Amino acid sequence: MSEAERVPGEAAQEHEARLQFLTWERTPADIDSPAHRARKKRLVRDAGASIADTAYVAAEARIFTDRFVLGEHAWIAGHALVRGDVEFGAHCTVNPYACISGKVVCGDGVRIASLVSIVGFNHGFDDPDRPIHTQPHETLGIVIEDDVWIGANAVIVDGVTVRRGAVIAAGAVVTKDVPEMAVVAGVPAKVVRRRGDPGVRSRRGAAETALEKIGRTAAAEWPAVLAKYRTAEGYLSPEADGTARMSIRHLCDAIEIAAGFDALSEHLDAGKTIERLQSVQDRTTGLFPDPYRPPEPGRALRDDGLALYNVLAVGYALEVLGARPLHPVSAVEVDAPALCAWLESLPWKARAWSAGAHVDAIATALYFNARYFTTGRAREVLFGWLAMNVDRATGLWGSATADGLLQPVNGFYRLTRGAHAQFGLPVPWPEAAIESVLTNHRNHGGFSGPAYTACNLLDTIHPLRLCLKQTDHRRGEAEAIAEAVILRAAERWRPGEGFAFADGQLGSLQGTEMWLSVLHLSAGLLGLAEAFPFVPKGVHRTHPVGLGL
């Protein structure tokens, strides 16, 4: 039938039918029609509605609400279901067969595709002795901020906030808050990229290319780097302050560098090296004082920074060589009051980094004891104390100083490395910690010059990677930092010397091992780990051992 042959009534019926599914075809005449005015009046009376003059509700839309707000130029398509307490701002659109239930607040410009389910309430089910249908409902509510697009068949559950400018991919199940301008996908939904960043693909490709390049260089040159610092008495290499010293740590770094490339230095006799490392351990305390720089006379070994750090350095080097410490670390096997007193005596207010380093050594010692010897309840006490003493506002332990958050952020890395990351436990407040780490990075200008050190970058990348296992909060910013680190790596490598610990210094074993680990962690944060050949096997390994060991 041609347009000319249609009678007015048939044409009107077809137009009304189209508006159920093609609601964007509505006209000012449709909005101002007697039928639509009557529909709005009924919704005001029966559904607690407040509908803007330019908004439109299709005839077959099902609105069963206690309160319903529809802003200017917004529309609800036919066969959509809206129930509960629901608010839409201006220019919002709801397509056919979408279901919006419970308490839901949408800002302006929210686009909701067909078959989306947004449910701002939940059934109680925790009591196994009661039928689910008799347990009370819980309503936290859902907030969807301005300029959000929600793809077909997506699900958003109660309690979620979707921040401004986000995109929810088709079929995604959103169970956690979505960051601003993030694109999320999957079940459960995770951030896959950010809007407004047209160079993200090219930068990611550039980062992968840079990783492959520096990986080839380091894989080819690491034997020469180790040879540079080797002497008849051991390894002589610059340390963090730029001064070259003998240290047992340098031997451990050499072992870890080789192991990261699945090798062993040809100049190391494994049996003699194991014997050398095991001889460092103090039989009484189980700690590892540096034979080149013994502790001050009369000072307890547990107060000596090197004896504590070498629990990590020597202990992991032995594991890399297929061995273990000879003795348990008895210094950490103390009762609950003694362990709590030890933790509380650490300098959390003035030097949170040092306090975190102590916790790192304590936790690592407890790992070795549990794996190779016997251990008591100190792990439970340690994690209990940490849970009770974390700052909920910052997600960190310890206090800011004149350097701002530098001390507690760096302490967070050391503490969580040995405790939460090593044992595979979640950090208490990951989103707050991410905010603190990013704030610290920003306040120091992303670090530059002498402050652009392996330590400061490791203390940034490791916490971000760890926390982003629990949340997608500000993932895009974390990824941008990781990309920047990778893209600068090639210019930092010194032929025959490896990486310098800090800008302006000579290369070193410490700098090389730490920077290779920073690159591995950065690659992992970006999903590019396969592009980089170095995989830490010791201090900076990323696979947790778990509490069950």
pLDDT tens-place string over residues 188-216: 898 877 776 655 556 678 899 999 999 99
What are the tens digits of pLDDT across the range 391-401?
999 999 999 99
Instruction: Output the pLDDT for position 220.
Output: 96
> What is the percent of the chain where pLDDT is above 90?
80
State yes or no: pLDDT of 3 exceeds 50. Answer: no
Q: Specify whether 297 is located in the same domain as 431.
A: yes
Q: Decide which of 161, 194, 227 is a domain's last residue.
A: 194
What pLDDT shows up at residue 8?
A: 58
pLDDT at 2: 43
Distance CA 266, CA 258 (A): 10
Distance CA 302, CA 285 (A): 8
The pLDDT of residue 4: 44
Residues 419 and 324 in one domain: yes
Same domain (yes/no): 180, 223: no
Question: Sorting pLDDT into bands at 50, 70 and 90, what band is 1?
Answer: very low
Q: How far is the first Cα of the chain from the last one, in angstroms, to the nearest whole number?
A: 77
Residue 401 falls within a domain, yes or no? Answer: yes
Residues 124 and 187 in one domain: yes
Instruction: State yes or no: cis peptide before 223, omega within 30 of 0.
Output: no
Confirm whether 33 is domain-assigned.
yes
How does pLDDT run across 65-76, given as a tens digit for each residue? 999 999 999 999
111 strand-pairing partners: 93, 149
Is it the case that residue 158 has pLDDT exceeding 80? yes
Q: Is pLDDT of 547 > 80?
A: no
Q: Are residues 216 and 120 in the same domain?
A: no
Q: What is the pLDDT of residues 117-154, one digit of tens each?
A: 999 998 888 888 888 888 888 899 999 999 999 999 99
Do 263 and 300 share a domain, yes or no? Answer: yes
Instruction: Write phi, then psi, for 516 (nearest 5 degrees).
Output: -60, -40
What is the residue-averaged pLDDT of the chain?
93
Output the pTM of the full model.
Answer: 0.69
Contact 252, 213 (CB under 8 A): no
Is residue 205 domain-resident? yes
**Exposure class string for 38-77: b at 16+ Cβ within 10 A, else e:** ebbeebeeebebebbebbbbbebbebebeebbbbebbbbb
* Whether residue 439 has pLDDT greater than 90: yes
Of 166, 194, 222, the position where a domain reaches its end is 194
The count of structural domains within the chain is: 2
pLDDT band at 11 (very low <50, low <70, confident <90, very high): confident
Q: Please report whether residue 300 resides in a domain.
A: yes
**How much of the chain exceeds pLDDT 70, in percent?**
97
State the Cα torsion 101-107-108-109 to the nearest 10°: -60
Q: Are strands 167-168 and 182-185 parallel, antiparallel or unpaired?
A: parallel
Domain enclosing residue 145, as ranges: 15-194
Interhelix angle 475-487/200-229, rounded to 10 degrees, is 50
Q: pLDDT-based confidence at 450, cuts 50/70/90? A: confident
Q: Count of alpha carbons within 13 Å of 26, Cβ hemisphere only?
A: 24
Give the mean pLDDT of 81-86: 97
Region 455-476: what's the mean pLDDT?
Answer: 92
CA distances from 36 to 29, 42, 412, 528 (A): 10, 10, 60, 55
- Indicate whether 504 pLDDT > 50: yes
Within a domain: 10 = no
Instruction: Flag whether pLDDT at 13 surpasses 80.
Output: yes
Q: 285 and 185, same structural domain?
A: no
543 falls within a domain: no
The contacts of residue 459 (CB under 8 Å, 6+ apart) are 409, 410, 412, 413, 414
Q: Which H or E run contains 93?
A: strand 93-94
* Eight-state DSSP code of residue 395: S
- 489 and 358 within one domain: yes
74 and 209 assigned to the same domain? no
DSSP 198-239: TTHHHHHHHHHHHHHHHHHHHHHHHHHHHHHHB-SSSBEEE-
Same domain for 164 and 223? no
